[in-house]
Structure 1
């Protein structure tokens, strides 16, 4: 009987040890890395806002409590004078007049721009020949720099040599209307010019909003026998409300501080008939070189815009609920 040969262990491999499981990622480290990444994207915008908006705002507020004169640029001295600048500005009758003109100018401009812009948006929402060409031409007033528009309209509205008065004289309506030289007509003329400039912006935004309204809603309203006006009031306007809000907010922010157009047309005259908070800020700071008073009026403008923004955000929050 033969005995079995012993099995050689040479070259035999021992079973490999099971590799240890990889350590699970640390949730705290992942969250920290994610926060750092988020701040990395946000940081440039924050720095930009603080540098170009935050610092000028704080500096303007501080300046309104200082006796800031041209001498300050050389000496660096701007003595603190308390609320003297604020008191002087508020006691000046021109400030109240400028505030009223600003409100009238802003309200009149927004109303005219929005109504005409909405009418044109509804008109161009229908298909007809040369639709795109006409829409492009209407954009021209918006593309021209405001100073250029002001200079052109100043020539058009000139009492003696203006195109408008010449045209009215040809029609026999009267060709010597003092559009820009009469205290009674100047503010109205400036408002009309600003309406002309702002119509394209309103039309473009509202036209885009109209294109987003489902056509099925209008078809359903037509099947129910609703008239065109009833469809517009009950279907179009409610669906267009978010776009309308954006148009009015942006329009307010750009209109309440307009300076260049008024300077080009009337320079705040005649007899301060077109003096607004924007032009008063310019006049105090760069004509009279009273930078403290100019800072006060500028802060009032900022405050008006901030109050409007707060009401807008609160209204949106209430509507969202």
Structure 2
């Protein structure tokens, strides 16, 4: 009994440094963020005043914040629909047997391997009306075409969603492809003998068997989309106006541009709570997945 306690003490002594580092770098910042969110903190004016829940009330009456919430919802939904539909199609293509299959899989992953900031900066140039790659390609079929994509709300939002989709779609497709690898070819052969075509086999065999895989991927990718920051920061800086400012970008601008850290903390807390709910849903879904 004494020896057992001694081993437990040694174990805790060995784990304690890592545990303290984790508390200092993770738990303390979360607690401090909740604390600051209850204050009006404006560094330039030297103001630090307790305001209770006023920051949270202001959050839902702030027109810029409401715009950010709306675009974040549009961004997440639009991006995830594209990921699911195009990701499944791309995964099915990569699952086909043909010469150069491994090379194609490697090439497809290249956008995902590149930093988002680099892609966003390149996309900012690509969508330029004068010298952009996108308009140059379109003008080969419609010479009179002119459109400055990033100065209009709808086109700027579409461009941001398209870039995000282009960046992470290959990774999503590869993960779906991993699920396709576990489907036995015997099932397709049996379906073929029964007279089922490719479309019927897809909806009766493929889609049901990878649906749980897609569900889990969708939850995690949705969480990543909600916290997206770099694509907007490097590509549009939230413009035109505030129309492409995601919630995570709004936290940054309030904290480091406006130096209104109390209000920024309240936005971060709301975002944290949303992520906590999604994490709970993902864990609940994970328990129901039969691998």
- TM-score for both structures, normalised by structure 1: 0.81
1:93 and 1:129, CA in 2 relative to 1: closer, same or farther beyond 3 A? same
- Determine whether 1:68 maps to 2:41: yes
SS in 2 for 1:91: coil
Deviation, structure 1 residue 32: 5.5
Q: Is the 1:113–1:196 Cα contact (8 Å) retained in structure 2? A: no
1:30 and 1:57, CA in 2 relative to 1: closer, same or farther beyond 3 A? same
Pick from 124, 148, 161 the counterpart of residue 131 of structure 2. Answer: 161
Pick from 289, 301, 312 the counterpart of residue 259 of structure 2. Answer: 289
Work out the CA distance in 1 between the residues paired with 2:122 and 2:275. 30
- Which stretches of structure 1, 4 residues or more, deviate above 4 A after TM superposition? 28-49, 315-320
Q: Is the 1:182–1:270 Cα contact (8 Å) retained in structure 2? A: yes
Deviations 1:14-34 (A, max 9, x none): xxxxxxxxxxxxxx5687578
SS in 2 for 1:68: strand
Partner of 1:300: 270
Partner of 1:53: 26
Work out the CA distance in 2 between the residues paired with 1:164 and 1:187. 16
Q: Is the 2:123–2:163 Cα contact (8 Å) retained in structure 1? A: yes
Deviations 1:162-220 (A, max 9, x none): 12112212211652122111112111111011110011110111111111222222222
Q: Is the 2:40–2:263 Cα contact (8 Å) retained in structure 1? A: no
Deviation, structure 1 residue 108: 0.7
Pick from 182, 189, 212 the counterpart of residue 182 of structure 2. Answer: 212
Bigger Rg over Cα? 1
Deviation, structure 1 residue 262: 0.6
Partner of 1:130: 100
Higher relative contact order (CA 8 A, sep 6+): 2
Q: Is the 2:212–2:289 Cα contact (8 Å) retained in structure 1? A: no
Partner of 1:115: 85
Unaligned runs of 5+ in 1: 1-27
Deviation, structure 1 residue 268: 0.5
Deviation, structure 1 residue 104: 0.6
Structure whose residues are more often helix by fraction: 2
- TM-score for both structures, normalised by structure 2: 0.89
Work out the CA distance in 2 between the residues paired with 1:34 and 1:174. 78
Pick from 239, 243, 261 the counterpart of residue 273 of structure 1. Answer: 243
- Determine whether 1:256 maps to 2:229: no
Unaligned runs of 5+ in 2: none
Work out the CA distance in 2 between the residues paired with 1:43 and 1:127. 52
SS in 2 for 1:180: helix
Q: Is the 1:221–1:231 Cα contact (8 Å) retained in structure 2? A: yes
Q: Is the 1:101–1:276 Cα contact (8 Å) retained in structure 2? A: yes
Q: Is the 1:166–1:175 Cα contact (8 Å) retained in structure 2? A: no
Q: CA RMSD in A?
A: 2.6
1:127 and 1:36, CA in 2 relative to 1: closer, same or farther beyond 3 A? farther
1:126 and 1:53, CA in 2 relative to 1: closer, same or farther beyond 3 A? same
Q: Is the 2:55–2:262 Cα contact (8 Å) retained in structure 1? A: yes
Deviation, structure 1 residue 119: 0.9
